[in-house]
Every structure is written in structure tokens, then in C-alpha cells.
Amino acid sequence: MNTEERQLAEMLHRVTPEPPRRVTVEDIAYRVASESPGSRRGREPRPRRGFSFGSRRWAPALAALSVVAIAGATAGIATVANSHHGNGPATSGTPTSSASVSSAPPSTAPPSSTGPDGTPLRIAGGMWGAELISHQALLPDSLVNGDNSLYAAGRGYLYRIDPVTGRVLRSAPFSPSVQDRPVVLGNRVWVVWSYHSGLAELRGYDAQTLAQVASVQVPAIGGVAGSAQGVLAAGPDGRLYLAAGDIVATVDPGSGQVTHRTSLTGGQASSVAVAPEGGKLYVGVGSAGSARLVTYDLGSGVLSSSVRLPDGQAGNLIATAGGVWGTAGTGTGLQVWFYNGADVTAVSAAASGGAASIPSLSDGAIWIGGPNEFDCANPDTGQLRVSSRVPADHGAPQSFGGVAVLGGRAYSVYQDQTAHLSGLARLTPDPACTG
């Protein structure tokens, strides 16, 4: 390399930034010059017509200029790439606006869950001051109260719930095999653990700890009814009554023994209830199209009355001083009726409510939920006391069902399909409901 070539290479080296590797522009220029056609042996190619730098001594400089051009292009590409990535999420992980938009339309009064500090938040519409106190997924037909606690089933467990905070205090594995509410009797909570073919099993749990303390197996003569709903009830005598095929079994919860069997006529038992004053046993028998409500004298076991019911079987019976409440049909076609001892009256307000419209008796009132209305009724006459509209969430139904009243507050299982939200709601009922 002569003096002129070295000076030019040094000048280019000063104005060109060094790449990360330990290779300088001078090194590359020198290498290219060394490998140029002029350095090879043999015949040189003929010069072509047109523009030409004309001298081989410019080869190192041209090579260096090529390196500068390549380096500049590489830097430009890196700048564009960095600019593109700069539009992504920040290092804090906060999502962009497009990623945080929900597919469901926002509600005009969006339902909320409890806040981080456990503070209940208002539910859409604010019916009766409704507020969500728990996100716990519960079955609407399983909520009951007793021993200053709430009990319900859901997600394969039986829960004991604090009515103040909505927190689960205790839980025990439990998956209902038949649509039925737990029965709180004394210091125990009873559930129908198994209800298949010719055998039913009851299990008792400590009301405080939910530790299992009892198990009773009851043979179901003739097999259990496939459409059974509400098969376990407690009587004023402190005994349990279980619909078990062609019989109703009376169980002593203390000893776990079956003390009496009432034989039925007209079909398998689908539901059972005992009059609050004792003496009468109400049983739903038969299937769709031939369902009947039969009444037996508990002392003698003699059939005292039989009445045909509207569409579907007799399920989810509740006995009051003035008559019997129940449901007809299954699924979303479930309807509520009331029998006053002479006539069966359909309660149309609960039509098509599904499991949420199954009636419940609590604090001197019958409560009927559903996706359209939330009602309370006189348990002895069947007359509605208060009917409140359940607001829709952007046209999609919200529902309240499975009501239990404790300490002057009503608790209900809440569901909003649009917001994919469910949990335990607390409401302040209209004074006319229990007045």
C-alpha cells in the first residue's frame, strides 16, 4: 500500500464508526484490495467501454466506500426495527387499548364483584340495593341458611359461607346427584349424596366445620324416579323424610336408622314435603302428563287426597300452613304452582325461570327468582306480595334465584350471562315481603 492509499484509508477510518467486531474499515479495504482482480495471476480482462475509475489504485478506496454504505444501510434498518418495536406494550406489562377491549358490549350499569378490600359493589340496576359480595359459583337451587351461616353447593363442594363478607368459611367435597337443597337440622347439614337406581345415600355434616359425621343408606323400592327434584325434607318432629322409589322413608338423624316407610300408590316419588304443624305428608308422584300430588296421614299412613297437577311432574315441594308449593316441568320450562287444599293455581310470574325460579321458603315468605322478575309471596295463600323487575344487561337476562333470608337481608345466587359473572348477591328486601 503506497502513501496515498494509506492516507485515504485513514481518513475513511476516522469518519466511519467502528462496528462491534474488532475489524476496521482499513482491514476490510486492504483485504478487498488484496483479493482484487489485479492481484491474481494470469491475463487481465479487457477494459469495457463506458465510465471507469481507470486505475487499480482506487480499489481499496472503493471497497472502503462500499463498507461505509453497507454500515449506513444496516444502521437504518436497525433504526426502523427499533421504531416498530417502540409501539408495543411498555415494560410494565400494561396492555394496549386494543388488547383490553372486551368482546361483550359494556353495560349501562355494569355488575361488579367485590373489590380488593372485600367491599361489596353494586349490581346492575340496583334492584333492592343488590350488591355482589362473592364471586363463588353456586347452584341457585342449593342456597339455604341456618346456624347464622349460609350453605350452598357448587363446583363439586358444599360450602359454609359468612353472610357478612361472603367468604367461604368451610367446604367439603360434594357433587349433587339430584336437584335438591341441603337440609339444616339442628347442628347438622344433610345432603343427598347419592341417588341412583335402587339406593339413596344421605350424608350429614357438622354445621360449623362441615366434617362428615353421619351416613345413611336407604333402599329405594322400585328404583328412584328419574325426574326427581326436591327429595329430602325435614319434619317438625326432627326427622328426615326421603322420597325413595315407591316409598317415603322416615329417617332418625340421631341413630341414622329408617324408622318408618310410607308405601305409595300411583308411581314413584319425585318430591316430598311435610306440613309445618305435622300430621300431613305431601308427595309428588307420576311423570309428565300424569303427575299428581298425594297427601298421606303421617300417623296412619292412609292416603287422604290426590290431585292432578298441571303439565309435568310434581317437584321441589314446600309445605306451608296454607297449602303446598311446587314446580311443574323441567329445565327452562319450569313453572311454579300453589295448592291450597282445593285448587291448584299456576304462578305465572315464575314461568321459564329454570332453576332460579324454584321457590324457597325463608323468613315467612315464599321467594321466586328468575331472569325477568324477583317476587315474594304469601306462603299460605299463594298471593304475590311484591313483584320486582330484574333489569336486563344490554338485552341479555340477569337472574336472581335460590333466596335465603338471614338477619333481615336476603341472599340470592346472581348470574349475568353477558358479563360472564356469577356469585352471591345480598339484597335488602321490600318490607312488604315479610310484613
Higher local confidence (pLDDT), 379 or 95: 379
Query: pLDDT at position 334, please?
Result: 80
* Encoded amino acid at 4, one letter: E
Look at residue 411 and tell me whether its pLDDT is greater than 90. Answer: yes
Compute the average pLDDT of residues 331-337.
Answer: 77
Task: Give residues with Cβ within 8 angstroms of 91, minimum separation 6.
Answer: none
d(Cα 237, Cα 234) in Å, to the nearest integer? 8
Query: pLDDT at position 92, please?
Result: 35
* Encoded amino acid at 309, one letter: L
Look at residue 237 and tell me whether its pLDDT is greater than 60. Answer: yes
Compute the average pLDDT of residues 83-87.
Answer: 35
Longest Cα–Cα distance in the chain: 129
Query: pLDDT at position 373, please?
Result: 85
Structure confidence at residue 1 as a pLDDT band (50, 70, 90):
low
pLDDT tens, position by position, 17-40: 444 444 444 444 434 344 444 444
d(Cα 215, Cα 199) in Å, to the nearest integer? 13
Compute the average pLDDT of residues 48-53.
Answer: 37
Look at residue 105 and tell me whether its pLDDT is greater than 60. Answer: no
CATH top class, domain 121-434? mainly beta
Look at residue 234 and tell me whether its pLDDT is greater than 60. Answer: yes
Most confident region among 1-15, 28-42, 112-126, 338-352 by mean pLDDT: 338-352
CA atoms within 13 A on the CB side of 336: 28
Compute the average pLDDT of residues 400-426.
Answer: 91
Apex CA 131: angle with CA 126 and CA 137, to 5°? 125
Higher local confidence (pLDDT), 229 or 26: 229
Beta bridge partners of 185: 188
Look at residue 347 and tell me whether its pLDDT is greater than 90. Answer: no
Q: What size, in residues, is the chain?
A: 435
Across 275-397, the runs of DSSP E, i.e. the strands, are 280-285, 292-297, 303-308, 315-320, 323-328, 335-339, 344-347, 360-362, 365-368, 373-377, 384-389
Compute the average pLDDT of residues 336-362.
Answer: 81
Look at residue 88 and tell me whether its pLDDT is greater than 90. Answer: no
Query: pLDDT at position 288, please?
Result: 66
- Are the C-beta atoms of residues 410 and 375 closer than 8 Å to each other? no
d(Cα 78, Cα 86) in Å, to the nearest integer? 12
Compute the average pLDDT of residues 407-419.
Answer: 89
Structure confidence at residue 47 as a pLDDT band (50, 70, 90):
very low
| DSSP letter, residue 126 | G
284 CB burial (10 A radius; 0-12, 13-18, 19+): buried
Query: pLDDT at position 4, please?
Result: 55
Query: pLDDT at position 76, please?
Result: 37
Look at residue 125 and tell me whether its pLDDT is greater than 80. Answer: no
Q: Which helix (H) or strand (E) holds 13?
A: helix 3-15
* Encoded amino acid at 49, one letter: R
On average, the pLDDT of the chain sits at 77
d(Cα 328, Cα 302) in Å, to the nearest integer? 25
Q: Which helix (H) or strand (E) holds 124?
A: none
Q: Domain map of the chain by residue range?
A: 1-35, 121-434
Compute the average pLDDT of residues 228-241.
Answer: 96
Query: pLDDT at position 140, please?
Result: 87
Please report, rounded to a whole number, the percentage of residues in the chain having pLDDT higher than 90: 52
Q: Is 71 helix (H, G, I), strand (E, B) or coil?
A: helix
